[in-house]
Amino acid sequence: MEQSKEPYIGPRAPHFLGYPEASATAQTVAAPLLAGASLSLVGVIIVDGGDFRWPGVTLLLVVMSAIALIATMQIGADARKYLYNRQTIEAWYAPEDLKRSSELLERRSAHFIQWQVRNRRAVVTFNTGTMLLIFSVATALVPPHDEQAAWRWAAAGLALAGALVEAWWIHHLFHEDPGGPPEKPKSLNGGDG
């Protein structure tokens, strides 16, 4: 019987190496700002509900948006604890500890997979929250009476167009071609072979 040799299995890493940072920025900078904007809009609708055509619908959308964006921060923070690289392990453990236990690197690989699974949930809630926020802004802009109606309809239309662009962008991000094989790394001696 053929003896199968051990396959090469490299360390787990994101395909786009900047993805974790981009994702963390969306979850720790954009999500709190947008959640704050949502909650401000909630306050405005509660106080001046008469100035909106559909205050109830707008309130519902904006509250759902705030919940989704706050969930993004919480789920993202929970996911983030599973993402670290070899340098982090080396900062916590002495080289002799690492030599004694390969379990740490194995655990890192399992944790990276956990991060991917949990981060996905944060990404889905972030995308949902931003979509709901744009829809709530669009409904808030619909004029309640004839005064300045044309301008407000135009603004509401623009917000809806923004929602469409956002939906397209999200779809694009979920389906974009990751590209072909990675380029061969350059040789460290200046490319002389």
Partner 1 sequence: MLYDVTLPGNGVDLHQCPSCVRPFRGHYTRNQVDDWERALEQGESLARAHLEQSGAFEVLHTATCPLRCLPPAVLALCPESELRAQYHKGRAVLGDC
Which long-range contacts (C-beta less than 8 Å, at least 24 apart) are formed by 155-158? none
* Sole window of 38-46, 55-63, 91-99, 180-188 interacting with partner 1 (rule: CB under 8 A): 180-188
Question: Judged by CB under 8 A, does residue 25 bind partner 1?
Answer: yes
Cβ closer to partner 1: 110 or 158?
A: 110
Nearest alpha-carbon partner for 115 in 14, 2, 33, 27: 14
Contact in structure between 45 and 55 (CB atoms under 8 Å): yes
Angle in degrees, CA 168, 169, 174, rounded to 5: 100
Shortest CB 55 distance to partner 1, Å: 25
Contact in structure between 89 and 105 (CB atoms under 8 Å): yes
Instruction: Lay out the site mask for partner 1 across 110-139 (x = CB under 8 A, - = otherwise).
Output: x--x--xx-xx--xx-xx--x---------
26-85 positions binding partner 1, by CB under 8 A:
26, 29-30
Contact in structure between 36 and 131 (CB atoms under 8 Å): no
Cβ closer to partner 1: 54 or 84?
A: 84
How close are the terminal C-alpha atoms of the chain, in Å? Answer: 40
- Phi-psi sector, 23: left (phi>0), alpha (psi -120 to 50), beta: alpha
Contact in structure between 76 and 68 (CB atoms under 8 Å): no
- What is the separation of C-alpha 126 from the centre of its chain, rounded to a whole number of angstroms? 6
Among 39, 109, 152, 160, binds partner 1 (CB under 8 A): 109
Question: Judged by CB under 8 A, does residue 184 bind partner 1?
Answer: no
* Sole window of 40-48, 59-67, 109-117, 141-149 interacting with partner 1 (rule: CB under 8 A): 109-117
Question: Judged by CB under 8 A, does residue 6 bind partner 1?
Answer: yes
Q: Where along the sequence are the contacts to partner 1 (CB under 8 A)?
A: 2, 4, 6-10, 12-16, 19, 21-23, 25-26, 29-30, 105-106, 109-110, 113, 116-117, 119-120, 123-124, 126-127, 130, 166, 169-170, 172-176, 178-182
